[in-house]
Structure 1
Amino acid sequence: MTFCDEVRQENALYFEASFEHPFVQGIVDGTLPLEKFKYYMLQDAFYLKHYTKVLAIAASKATEADETLYYLQAAQNIQLAELEMHRLTFHELGVTGAELEAFEPAPSAYNYVSHMYNAAYNGDAAEAFAAMFPCPWLYLEIGNRFKDAKPGVALYEQWLALYSSDDMNENIKQQLALMNHYAQQQPHKISLFKQHFKKSCYYEWKFWEMPWTSENWEQEVMRYVTR
């Protein structure tokens, strides 16, 4: 088995939980309230903004010219494709300037980004990539699994189409090869790669739970406050 085969098998729980999460299922069948999707898109824009910065850190730490170029191009592609989709979606969802100004990342989004920065700043390019890779891989699997769905909501159909596109499939093939290359190159770090990967798989699941429950910083604490 390749490294990627192993981590996919070892983290199947998180992938399956994402496929079955009511937020994802609501996109697939078109029943997800638009307010929950709006919440998600705002948090996802925050995540992607920092994801591109983590890619830039990885580029600065890469030891081979083609790796550096790959990370820089990936950062640019996110800016041009996914973030543009977010801007158009914000318009369709009626996101106001006041909402953007008042935006605060939810705990799960903040923690996920912090986890990636930790891997990137304290490790090398391979460690950073191990923390970044679960996101696009999972989204591709969601897109491919539900590509024939007919949610009847334009925003949801666009979302599924983006993550099942030919470009997305080709991109993940390259990323699988890169992650396997890192594992072969640094076998002494496989355990660390797996730790980073697993944490990101968990946070990917939390990223669905977060908009589904309208997660905020006071939510859990309030349960313990005597009224």
Structure 2
Amino acid sequence: MTLSARLWSDNSDVAAEVLAHPFVCGIGDGSLPKELFAGYVAQDAFFLESFARAYAFALTRSPDTTTLLTLADLLAGVRQELGLHESYARDWGIDMAGVAPWPAALAYTEFLLACASTQDLSVTYAAMTPCMRLYAWLGASLDPSTAGPYAQWVQTYADPEFESIARLLEQLLDDRAEDTPAVRTAYRRAMRLELAFFQAAFAPEA
């Protein structure tokens, strides 16, 4: 079993909590109040900008050309994901400017940027991989035919192209990291922060 597969398996309990969370269930059956989703979209766009910066930090520290080009491809993938958020913002009248980040969003972005700027690249990959793998898994687990206004969201993360991008990051983790306590801690921390981010949609100040 690869390192990325082992870490995902060892954190399946958190993934199950996310899938069972009322916010995610509400996306899956289309019942989530639109105002909650609108708040999430604005916050997630804020998060993705920091995610892109974490990729950029890692890119500047790339030890070889192959890694540099892979990270450049991953950075381009964030731009595509932000396009989904811009689409919702345009269609639903969501104000994306001047977003005041939730504490949960700040905790997650500060964790990612701290890892990317101060930790070994292996820890950075471990901190960033859960976001990509979790969303690809959620896309595959939910049914767009029942998601109503959120069908586009489900389809985006169920798309084989998104799965390919997630695998690119997992491949970096597999190729460049060892199964160390620091790597495991970063991966687990990111998974818990993902869960907290969804929870924040119901209690933003928590």
Separation (CA, whole Å) in 2 of partners of 1:167 and 1:149: 20
Q: Deviations over 1:90-144 (max 9, x none)?
A: 1122124xx723x210000000000011111111322211111100100000001
Query: Counterpart in 1 of 2:77?
Result: 77
Gaps of 5+ in 2: none
State the distance in 1 between where 2:30 and 2:198 align: 16
1:225 counterpart residue number = none
Query: Considering only CA atoms, is the larger Rg found in Structure 1 or Structure 2?
Result: 1
Provide, for residues 32-51 of structure 1, a one-character-per-residue CA deviation record: whole Å limited to 9, x for no partner: 00000001001100000111
Contact 1:147–1:164 (CA under 8 A) maintained in structure 2 = no
Query: In structure 2, how many angstroms separate the alpha carbons of the residues matched to 1:47 and 1:73?
Result: 19
Paired residue total: 206
Superposed counterparts of 1:125-136, under 5 Å: 125-136=121-132
Match of 2:163 among 169, 189, 214: 169
Aligned to 1:48: 48
Pairs within 5 Å for 1:60-71: 60-71=60-71
**Runs of 4+, deviation exceeding 6 Å:** none
* Aligned residue number for residue 224 of structure 1: none
Name the SS of the counterpart of 2:68 in structure 1.
helix
CA distance in 2, matches of 1:92, 1:148: 19
CA drift at 1:148: 5.0
**Which residue identity lines up with residue 198 of structure 2 in the other structure?**
W
Are 1:59 and 1:71, in contact at CA under 8 Å, matched by a contact in 2?
Answer: yes
Deviations 1:55-101 (A, max 9, x none): 0000011101111111122112212x1112211211122124xx723
Q: Deviations over 1:7-28 (max 9, x none)?
A: 1122111100001000000000
Q: How does 1:62-211 map to 2 (within 5 A)?
A: 62-79=62-79, 81-96=80-95, 100-101=97-98, 103-147=99-143, 149-153=145-149, 156-183=150-177, 187=178, 190-211=180-201
TM-score by length of 1: 0.86
Which AA in structure 2 matches 1:111? Answer: A
Report the Cα distance in structure 2 between the residues aligned to 1:163 and 1:135, rounded to whole angstroms.
11
**Offset, 1:152:** 2.1
Root-mean-square deviation (Å): 1.5
TM-score, normalized by length of structure 2?
0.94
Provide the rounded CA distance (Å) in 2 between the counterparts of 1:172 and 1:63: 21
